Each structure stands twice: as structure tokens, then as C-alpha cells.
A and B are shown apart, each in its own frame.
Chain A
Amino acid sequence: MKRAVSAMALIGLWLPAALAVAGPKGGLPDPAASWEHLWRDVLIDLFIIGVVFLTAGLYWVFKYRATRPGQVGDAPKLDRLSAIGWAVVPAFLFMADDFYLAAKGWTVWNEYRNVPRNALEVKVTGSMWAWNFEYDNGVVTTFDPDAKEGEGLVVPVGKPVVLRMTSSDVVHSFFLPQHRVKEDLMPGRVTYLWFNPKAPGETIATCTEFCGNRHSFMWTKVKAVPQADFDAWMAKQKQDKKA
């Protein structure tokens, strides 16, 4: 019993040190990629914990089956030291893992919240049940999910986009699954999120805060196009607006 305790103590000291080795660094900030990287690490971490516990549990369940009627268990009685050891050592191991996860999570979180200075700013208004996008030159776009008509949110590739968001009625949430980010919109407050459209293509943003009857239909196209196309598109929008 004491051997087991000291072995665990050893792991407890070694593990945090080993895990403290930092992850990859450098390059342009790309929250979505960092998210995926972190997700892999978290899965591995949890998989190990799960496998250790589950193997022990299932192995004991099957190994220690009663073989004759009236049989009782013969678990050794814990002496004081091992009882304390079996509380303190695992507690520190778990804490080590928690702090490791917290530190990693915090790092990526900072990427999520620090908006690059050159970001394109778009004002988003959510209302029951549609999204409105207003660019800084006053161009407003929207999208109708029933008719599948409208421009939705159009952004240039390679330029960070920050959304300043508010709601005109109830709580909504702007969720961009492909960019691994969401944030709620509320009346009376402005919230923000940013993302980095790396490649041209079309994806969706959809509402993830319950807002009534047509909550499932409150989605919009999000299109990333090369800068030149974006400029042309924007010029056309301005034209249409004047007309």
C-alpha cells in the first residue's frame, strides 16, 4: 500500500513538469486552428483518464466476483497514512491536470479575445428571426433562409473580421461552427467576436440561443471571397443602395 502511495506521489511531481512544456507558437493568430489543436490535446488527456479508471473498474468488477454463497470481500483496511495518501496524492494529480488544462485554455482564450488591429468591423443585429449586417460604409445586408435569398455576411479572405453585435428583441447567439466561435447578442449591450476567414468559400452562421418559434431557421450564409472580389461586391452594394 505504501509503495503504491509513493509511486503515485512520484507521478504527481513529474506529471505537471512534463505537461508544462508549452505547445507550438508563432505565425498569424488563427483561433479556429488553435481550438482544434487544443481539442486534440484535451481528448487525449481525457481519454487517458477514462481508460485508467474504466480498466480498473471493469477489471475489478469481473475479477472479484463472488464464487461461493456467503462470501465476503477482503479489502485491506486502510491505515491512517494510506488513507491520507489516497486523498492527497490523487487530489494533487487531479489539480495538476486541471491547472494544465486551464493554462492551455487560457492561452487560446486570449487569442479569441484580442482582436487584431487591422480587423474589418461589421455591426450585427439579431432580431426575431433574422440577421442584419452593417458595414462601416453604411451598406446593410441580410439573408432570408426560406427563400434562400440575400447576400448574408460577405468578408474578404485573409483579413480578420470582428463582429460588434447587439439584439433588438430577445437573446440570440451568433454561432459560426466552422470558425469554432459563438457569442450571445442581447438588447442593451454590445458583444463581440472575431474570426479569421483563411480560404474562400461559403459557410453558415446560426442562432444558438433559444428565441422562439423560428429559432431553427435563424441562420445566414457567410461567404469569404478574395479581396478583389470583395471590393467589387462592395462597390456594387453601394451602387444598389444609392439607386
Chain B
Amino acid sequence: MSAPTSGFNLKEWIFTTDHKRIGILYLIGSIAAFALAGIMALLIRIEQGAPGPTIVSDNFTGGDQYNVWLYFHGAAMILGFLIPGLTGFAANYLIPLMIGAKDVAFPRINALSVWLFWAGIVVALLTFVIPDKPDIMWTGYPPYSISGTRGNTAFYVFTVHLIGFSSILASVNFLVTVIYMRAPGMGWNQLNMFVWSCVTALIIQLIFVPVLAAAVTLLLFDKYLGTHFYDPANGGDVLLYQNLFWFYSHPAVYVIFLPAMGIFYEIFATMAKNPIFNYKAAVYGGMCVIVLISGEVWVHHLYYSGMPDWIRIGQMVSTLLISVPVGLMTISLFGTLYRGAVTFNTPMYYGAAALYLLLIGGLTGIPLAMTVMSVHLGETSFTHAHFHFIMGIFATFSVFAAVDFWFPKISGRMLNEGQAKLGFWLNFIGVNITFWPLFIIGVEGMPRRYWDYSQFPAHFADYHKVATIGAFIVALGMALTISNWILSAIKGQKAGDNPWGSKSLEWTHTATPPGPGNFPKDVTVDASWTPYNYH
């Protein structure tokens, strides 16, 4: 296959409308957000490493400093890193290649999406330089977020708007692409699991992001135009915002979770040289059912918020039932290994770790889902540990595994395996050291968003200290991993077209790396083709 001709041309990069380059622009932006938010995490961890002021100035201004770090950490990790990393980078780079299309349906809108996302990151970064820094947390609850002059809510709201609008446009673009641009002959049951996971995630995004947009717009109006939507003194309702926010933000976790699972399905099938175990159960019984019920469980974030009792109980049941579709997807993921021929390389290391992370993170969601358990465990470090395991580690690892797995295709070069594996082990060991202590003190009552905890028993400090050490191990692992990408992209060993022996179109039918138009020859598939035809 012919290699693409061209040296580096900056104009062709920043004005690009090619989905692969847009994907890479997403990746650069989201990793930058990750690194910055990660550095905030280190500041948070140092501060929490001991009770009393460590790096903040004193008890009276300390909160203001810490809250800005935590605001940026939460908002940037979710809006700036994970959602764009998965439905931006991975979906952009892979979907057209996997379905045999030359590009997406609307390349210019795709470019609009990526630059809207970048604009969102720029606005988020202004957090550090503007007066009245946002300190309202990624949840932005009123009345705090609309009271006083502090905590510049406008920059939070516009970050959400820009990134939200970007993801709505991306949803439309990719749904149309998958519906109309599949290679001739490719039926819905022949799609890659990753494509299905994105289709379902993007449907969720299309429906729920607008509600968030409405919720934060009203926040803006309340604060700056003096409207009264969230102001109980004038006929508004405090809980209205919380309901609208979680109506979006719970489904948003599946916007993250589904593509993350999709990536691991691809890695498992390729590395175990097996078809997906019970494909249809995972797609229709798992992913599609999640789309259907993800919008009926948001009250599990409001169990202790004073919602009527009947709805707290009703949504406990619907939340618990999420374990059914997720469980079917889990069985399918695990089952893909059964009687496989597993090759162990870095992506598969992440895959093996994912088995464990998915269980720890997912199963600890179950006590939180039980109303009565949550009135103790909710808003404590237990919640932290839950969502860091499932999102901050499982889903985050999926992005790292995806880059490692598709690296040869993207860059045309192989990673340095040794460094990649070392990075993996540091990451994996580090996150366990960081987040297990949080489970334990969470059950004992360590609240969230506290930089000082002197009122609690002295042994909390020991657990926090251990967690802080863990965070630095992760930082080392992440630095190794990210620097490996940069160095290997420049001077790694040249890769062949299909180093893993995959059967999926992006490996079998394209050059490495793919040039403009993706496929040297138009792709058609027949009814017996699947991306998992290993035997």
C-alpha cells in the first residue's frame, strides 16, 4: 500500500477537515487537559496529605485556593479530557476507518467541533488568570454559584456551552456517518463493537447535553440578569438545577463508559484472536438498553438532597437495574477471552487490568445506588474511590490503551514496549495505592471537597498520606506513558500495516498511517465478513 506523500505542513493541520487529523487534534487537547488537571490533582493530594494548611496559605483563605484546583480538576478531567478523548479522539480517528468510509459526513462541521472544544479548554484555562476565579466545582450548584460576586460562574457556563455544543454537533455528524456511509454490504450486526458503543453513546449525548446547556444557561441568567429560576425566595426552586444537572450528568457517565468498553472489546478480540462473545446480547441487551434506561436514574445523586421519598425509592430500583445491561456487556467482554490465544502486550496489560477495575468501580456503585446506604456513603471519599476506579482509572486507561493499541496505525511507528510496560505498572500500582485508602476513610465518614479534616480521627491523616504517595507514582507512570508517545512518534521503529494481525478494516485495508481518503481502494464487504473473523 502506498504511503502518503507529504512533509509537515502546519496549515494543513490547523485548517484540516480530515477526520484523522481532527482526531489527533482532539487527542492533543484532551491530553493537555489531562496533564493540567492531573497537576491539580497532585496539588490536591499534597494539601490533603496532612490536616491543616500544607501548601495553602492559612485556614481562612485556604479554601479559596483549594476550591479552584478542585474545580479545575473535576471540570477538566470530565469535560476536557475523557469525553473529548473518547467521543472526540477515538471516535474521530476510528469510526470512518472501521466502517470503510473516506471521511465523516460533514468534514467542516467536524472541524468546527474540534475548535469549539479547544475554545472550551481555553476558556477553562482562564480560570487561573481571571479575577474572581471559578470555585463552584464541576457541579456548579446554586445558590452558591449564583450568589455574590465570587466564583466567576460565566467562565464555567461558557466552558460547558462550548464543549457541549461541540459534542452535539459531533453526535449529529457521526450518527449520520454511521447510518449513511458504511461500506457497501456492511450490515448493522457487522459493525465493530467500538462503533456500536459510540453510536449509543452519541445518542445519549444528543439527547442529554441540551438539558445541561439549558440548566447552565439559566444559571447564567440567574447570576447576571437577575432572573429567579433557582431562587426560592422569588418562586424559583433550588432543586431544579440539581435535577436538570444530573439528568444530564448521570447519562454522561455512560457517554464515557460505553466507548471505554468498546475500546476494550476491540483489544480483547484482537489480542485473543476470538470473535466477541455473544455480540448481540452485548449490543442490544447491553448498549441499547443502557440508552433506554440511563435517563431514569439521575436521582441517585440526590438521595440526601431532600427529594420526595417515593422517587428516591423508585430510582434506587432503576439504578440497581443498570447492573443488568452492564452485566451483559461484562459477560461478553470476559467471555471473549474464553479459549482465546491471548498475546500479552501493553494494550492487553491495560485490558487485563480493566477486568479488575470494571468490577471494583462498578460494584462499588451498587451500595451507592441503594438509597439508605448512600445517605451515609454519598458525598464521602467512598464516592471518590468509586468514580475514580470506574472513570478516573477504568475509562482513563481505555484512552491510554487505545493510543497504545492504535499507535502503529496513527503514527506509523511502534512504541517502546519496555517504557510502555513500565508506565503501565506504575500507573496500575499507583492508582491502587491512591484510591483504596479513600474507600476506607470514606466508610468512616471522610467528606468530599475538604482540604482540612482536623475534626476527624488522627488516623485519617495516615490514609491520606498513603494516597498522596500513590498519586505521585501515578504521575511518574503517566509522564513515562505520555513521553513515550511523543518520542516514539518521532523516532520509533517503523510499523507494518497490521502488526497485531487484526481483522478489522482499519488494519486490513489502509496504509500505515492512512493518507487522505483513507482507503487506497473502495471497500466493499460481503455478508460473511465481520471484523472478528479469526477462525
Measured CB to CB, the residues of A under 8 A from B are: 35, 38-39, 42, 46, 49-50, 53-54, 56-58, 60-61, 64-67, 70-76, 78, 83, 86-87, 90-91, 94-95, 97-99, 101-102, 105-106, 108-109, 112-113, 145-146, 169-171, 173, 175, 177-178, 180-184, 186-189, 191, 193, 204, 206-217, 219
Contact = CB atoms under 8 A, between A and B. Distances in A.
- Of A61, A74, A113, A180, the most chain B CB neighbours within 10 A belong to A61
Contact of A189 (B232, B285, B320): B232
A72 B339 CA distance: 9
Interface residues of B, number: 89
Interface of B: 59-61, 63-64, 67, 135, 137, 139, 141-144, 147, 150-151, 232-233, 238-239, 272-275, 277-278, 280-281, 285, 304-306, 309, 312-313, 316-317, 320-321, 323-324, 327-328, 330-331, 334-344, 352, 355-356, 359-360, 363-364, 366-367, 370-373, 375-376, 378-380, 443-445, 447-453, 455-456, 501, 534-535
Closest 7 CB pairs of A and B: A188-B232, A177-B445, A73-B274, A213-B63, A73-B340, A87-B281, A105-B370
Given A74-B339, A105-B370, A170-B142, 12 more contacts: A35-B373, A46-B364, A49-B359, A64-B340, A71-B273, A73-B273, A73-B339, A73-B340, A75-B336, A83-B278, A171-B305, A213-B64
Nearest to B453: A216
B316 A102 contact: yes
A184 B304 contact: yes
Contacts of A64: 272, 337-342
Contacts of A86: 277-278, 281, 331, 335
Contacts of B63: 212-216
A75 B137 contact: no
A35 B378 CA distance: 14
Contacts of A219: 455
Nearest to A148: B455
A75 B304 contact: no
Nearest to B326: A94
A99 B68 CA distance: 41
6 contacts: A49-B359, A91-B327, A106-B371, A182-B378, A182-B379, A213-B67
Contacts of B338: 60, 64, 75
- Of B150, B305, B452, the most chain A CB neighbours within 10 A belong to B305
Nearest to A52: B359
B360 to A, nearest CB: 7
A186 B278 contact: no
Contact of A58 (B278, B304, B355): B355
